[in-house]
Structure 1
Amino acid sequence: MSIAASLPVARAQRNLAPLCVAAASFLLLLVSGDSLLHDPDTLWQIKVGQWILDHHAVPWTDFYSLTRQGEVWLSTSWLSQVLFATTYSHWGWAGPVILTAAAIALAMGLLLAFLQRHLDLPYALVFCLLAMTLAAPHLLARPHVLALPVMVAWSGALMTAADRGRAPSFLLLPLMVLWANLHGGFVLGLALVGAIGLEALWCAAPARRPALMLRWAAFGVGALAASCCTPYGVDTLLGAARILSLGKSFSVIAEWRPADFSAFNPFAGALLGLLGLALTRSLTLSPPRVLLILGTTWMALAHVRSIETFGVIVPLVLAQPLSGWFRSVPDASRGLRMAPGAPGALAAVAIMLAAASASAAFAARHSFAFSATQTPVAAVDVLAERKAARIFNSYGFGGYLIVRDIRPFVDGRSELYGEKFLMDYFAAEDGRDVAGLLRMLDENKIDATLLTADSPAAQMLDHVAGWKRIYTDKIAVVHVRDNQAAASK
């Protein structure tokens, strides 16, 4: 009887722990909400979202840039852009901050719920904290964050099905529809169907494998079809593929660069910890699980933006094999204890109401502001006064120029510009190709430049005949053509 009575209590604890973690994460992120507004892409995401709302359509071509106007561009994150634009129009910067914080908090709560299927609460919390720490540099008000809880739910549900030796339920397919409309990262979800499906087949009895393989294959076909349930249809896959075809230009875009181990960082610590765990405990995994870990590790090593994927997928893959490793935590120290039934439900409601009221009170007293380093207001005011129309800009200023209805030379839509253009641009802007810089300025009939204060290109233009600096502050430098100097030359 005592064992039977303890089961509802443990279940209530498991139900409330993810909610408590989600509420705590949300409040923490809200208090530090300005840190979510440090990416220039947020600016043009909101601009595109507002265009979609105004025109009741999605863009098929570019109409923002100076150099790619009219070329094919599909907004594979259109739903996220609409959500950001809607919240911004109603609540200013508080809207995107709250929306982003809620998405991250939901992702952490879901991750804890999946991990608690196999691990006691303290160990599951360690993995959740690790995942949030690894993702921290990339937690920004951008579409990939709104898709983060969908990624956790999709990955966790697939691993749960594999752990139980079953095929996933077709009821999961609406998650793929949502993911494909939120962010182009849905291709990871499609890849996970095959990778996790191999784990289910590996662990199944030989007699069950043919039928199980057919069910996983049917689910994979359904997931592929679901990913095309967007305004772009099958072209959604082509739009996502363009992002992955940037080749060498990945090395010059900060979030796509390889991981840097010149100094110790959380990702390095996680890799060393994983290696140490395997060596000291003789960790044995099935080949498909090994491939999953190796695959996500390679992604994180190749591109820093994939480190958050590593932080989510690896704990989900390890949870079931690690369930027998750790000694169970004594009942007295398991943490939150709540009565089952109505008291537990009331506690959940109280947690949500407390988080909501605290959030409303903080948002009413705090004015969120976008990063000043990404918004060269004064410099653009100078350009607007001079009626400059063809501007060569630093990569990070493209989003702000779009918001100001000025066509940027380049912006964060890397897939629009392509590998060659980006490689030539960064070589010119970084000072590695002076001749290329001057050629770009002449061929594109540039009449002004808007560069960061520490840009090598800005320093070079100070010494180039035909150009003069007319404005400088801590954020940006403006150069314009000096026709008199060019004539005297």
Structure 2
Amino acid sequence: MTSDLAFIPAEQAARTPPFRPFALRSKAASSILVFLGLVVVLATQAGQLLNDPDSQWHMAVGRWIVAHRAVPWTDLFSHTFAGSPWIAKEWASQVLLYCAHAGAGWWGVCMLTVLVIAGSLAGLHLWLVRRVSGTAAIMVVTAAFVVLAPHLLARPHVFTLPILLVWMSGLVAALERGRAPSPWLALVMTAWANLHGSYPIGLVIAGVLAGEGVFSGPRSEWIGRGLRWARFLALATAASCLTPYGYAPFLVNLGLFNSGESLPYIMEWRPLGLDGAGVIAGAMLVGSVVVLLTAPRKNLFRLGVVVLLGVMMIRHSRFADLFVLAAPILVAGPAMARFPRLRPEPAIAVSRRSSFVILAFALTAMTTVALVSPRLSAAMTPRAALDAARVKGLSGPVYNDYDFGGFLIRSGVPTFIDGRSDQLFLGGFIHGLNQALDAPGTERFAALLARHGVTWALVRKDGPSADHLRRLEGWRLLHQDEVAAVYYDADRVTTAP
């Protein structure tokens, strides 16, 4: 109970009920219900987890890594940047996605994603319900789920959710104990660095919170505390370099922000919107800041982390994932200290009725999971169009729309462009492509195709690419369906009879 009372005045702490053996069971039971409920909700919408073209190429990269028992160092999947330096910095997530696919197809990929998301939010609920009221805990988890919903996809970033939960709860637990984090917590950074490229943010958070860890104690202890936190931060930084690529992923992540070329064209890198999820995320940010400002000096460093993550979220909506998990963990203690009504309810034993409810939820969840049959979105899987191109013998460099890149990589076709824009398709490539597509005439677009030796194209049936291809001299339409169209340069390609 020590960590639960860190922000409670002494006179309130004295009245805190003692630990009861059934408390954990009762609160764990409510978190199990949260987990099972989320499994049901997510499983019924499992197909939406695949509504991103990147899911396909991430799985394909994992397939290559497993097949070759190595990680790639150069681009193997496009013809425009073939052989250029490229690393699979999220290789561990890609291997997990491939293994799930190899074992159970796209159903396996979706169920792995469902379990990770549901487990992460249930873990957040369990952490909160031990520190604040059950009502407050479920409201926060519900709000977090709504904000996360647009970003819940079968991609490597979902694996950061449990990692961030463990990282943040470990840091805050250390602060509440008045100690530096356990050296074992540094291993979380090793897992994070191999699963997703957002791990430098975790190091920054730890560095800021170290200020509270040092200066919250007596002045005479500042040096000792500072040394212990510095030792942990150095260990965590070293642990983040334990990847097949060493520290290279860290430099790649910095390069993404420095170049910024692809950011304006990718939805998740755009500013936070004013839709339902955006409004709730904004309300969580304002509420967190208000709570921490009730004791600004004491909460200064937590406030710094919340504001930092909030600004990142406002500028780039993809960082909402980090904010909605990190902020509640930072704010729960100060909120409980300032608002006594938020204190957790007295512990109660788990009733037989509750056990039956849990069993009913578990059976519902298992039935739902067994019955769903998620499929890839047809809008990003132009199978009929690619089959038509292969039947006609089209080969050579292809021009493809961005959303078809993942499908082509999975199908073994070198792409013109795909979702790996954090490392490739830079140096003016994306700007040049978009300028060519936006131009009223076809000259720029034709020059772009000629520069890369393109002989055929797989594009959306309607869109700027198709508009240009229809007007290009010498290009012919080979196939068109509700999803995609195939064009080829009749002057350079001879199709099979």
Corresponding residue to 2:458 among 429, 450, 464: 450
1:183 to 1:432, Cα distance in 2 relative to 1, 3 A: farther
Task: Determine the structure 2 residue equivalent to 1:38.
Answer: 51
What is the aligned partner in structure 2 of residue 388 from structure 1? 395
Q: Does 1:290 align with 2:303?
A: yes
1:34 Cα offset (Å): 0.8
Q: 1:78 aligns with which of 84, 91, 94?
A: 91
Q: Partner letter of residue 162 of structure 1?
A: L
Question: Letter of the aligned partner of 2:277 in structure 1?
Answer: P
Residue correspondence of structure 1 range 185-224 to structure 2 within 5 A: 185-224=198-237
* TM-score (norm: length of structure 1): 0.89
Equivalent runs, 1:316-327 vs 2, <5 Å: 316-327=329-340
**Alignment partner of 1:130 out of 143, 154, 161:** 143
Q: Does 1:407 align with 2:414?
A: yes
CA distance in 2, matches of 1:236, 1:249: 18
Matches of 1:375 and 1:456, distance apart in 2: 19
CA positional deviation for 1:287: 2.4
The alpha carbon displacement at 1:266 in A equals 2.0
Q: Say yes or no: does 1:269 pair with 2:280.
A: yes
* Aligned mate of 1:376, from 371, 374, 382: 382
**CA-CA distance at 1:284 after TM superposition:** 4.0
- Are the structure 2 counterparts of residues 60 and 482 from structure 1 closer, same or farther at C-alpha, using a change threshold of 3 Å? same
Aligned partner of 1:365 among 338, 360, 371: 371
Q: Which residue of 2 aligns with 1:487?
A: none
**8 Å CA contact retained: 1:60, 1:72:** yes
Identical amino acids, percent of aligned pairs:
31
Aligned pairs for 1:432-443 within 5 A: 434-443=442-451
Q: What is the letter of the counterpart of residue 53 of structure 1? A: V
Taking a change above 3 Å as real, the CA distance of residues 96 and 152 of structure 1, as seen in their structure-2 partners, is same
Q: What's the counterpart of residue 464 of structure 1?
A: 472
Distance 1:270 1:143, change over 3 A: closer
Q: How many residues align?
A: 474
Separation (CA, whole Å) in 2 of partners of 1:266 and 1:162:
31
Conserved? CA contact 2:458–2:487, under 8 Å: yes
Shift of 1:434: 4.7
2:261 is paired with a residue whose SS is: helix
What CA distance in whole angstroms lies between the structure 1 residues aligned with 2:367 and 2:447? 54
Cα distance in 1 for partners of 2:161, 2:292 equals 31
Secondary structure of the residue aligned to 1:446 is coil
Task: Summarize the Cα distance change of 1:428–1:338 in structure 2 as closer, same or farther, 3 Å threshold.
Answer: farther
The equivalences for 1:220-259 within 5 A come to: 220-259=233-272
Asked if the contact 2:100–2:108 (Cα under 8 Å) also holds between the matched residues in 1, the reply is yes
Give the partner amino acid of 2:399.
F
SS of the aligned residue for 2:488 comes to strand
What is the CA distance between 1:312 and its match in structure 2? Answer: 1.3
1:20 corresponds in structure 2 to 33
The structural deviation recorded for 1:240 is: 3.2
The 10-residue stretch of structure 1 (161-170 or 241-250) with the greater mean CA deviation from structure 2 = 241-250
Partner SS state of residue 15, structure 1? helix
Residue 372 of structure 2 aligns with an amino acid whose one-letter code is H
List per-residue Cα deviations over 1:24-76 (Å, max 9, x = no partner). 21222122111111111111111111111111111111111011111111111
CA distance in 2: counterparts of 1:277 and 1:113, whole angstroms: 19
Cα distance change of structure 1 residues 141 and 278 upon mapping to structure 2, 3 Å threshold: closer
| Corresponding residue of 1:56 | 69
1:220-243 per-residue CA deviation (whole Å, 9 max, x = no partner) reads 111111111122223232333344
Q: Which runs of 5+ in 2 are unaligned?
A: 1-14, 493-497
CA drift of 1:297 comes to 1.1
Q: For residue 478 of structure 1, give the secondary structure of its aligned residue in structure 2.
A: strand
Confirm or deny: 8 A CA contact 1:277 1:283 kept in the other structure: no
After superposing the two structures, state which structure 1 stretch, 73-82 or 232-241, moved more: 232-241
Structure 1 pair 307/465, CA: closer, same or farther in 2 (3 Å)?
same
**How much does 1:308 deviate?**
1.3
User: 1:198-234: CA deviations, max 9, x gaps?
Assistant: 2223422222221111111111111111111122223
Q: Following TM superposition, by how much is the alpha carbon of 1:430 offset from its aligned partner in structure 2, in angstroms?
A: 4.7
Q: Which amino acid aligns with 2:88?
A: S
CA distance in 2, matches of 1:433, 1:298: 40
Shift of 1:280: 10
C-alpha displacement of 1:355: 6.5
Aligned residues of 2:292 and 2:303 also touching (Cα < 8 A): no
**2:209–2:301 Cα contact (<8 Å) kept:** yes
Unpaired runs of at least 5, structure 1: 485-489
Q: Which amino acid aligns with 2:386?
A: V
Query: Normalising by structure 2, what TM-score?
Result: 0.87
Aligned to 2:9: none
1:398 aligns with 2:405: yes
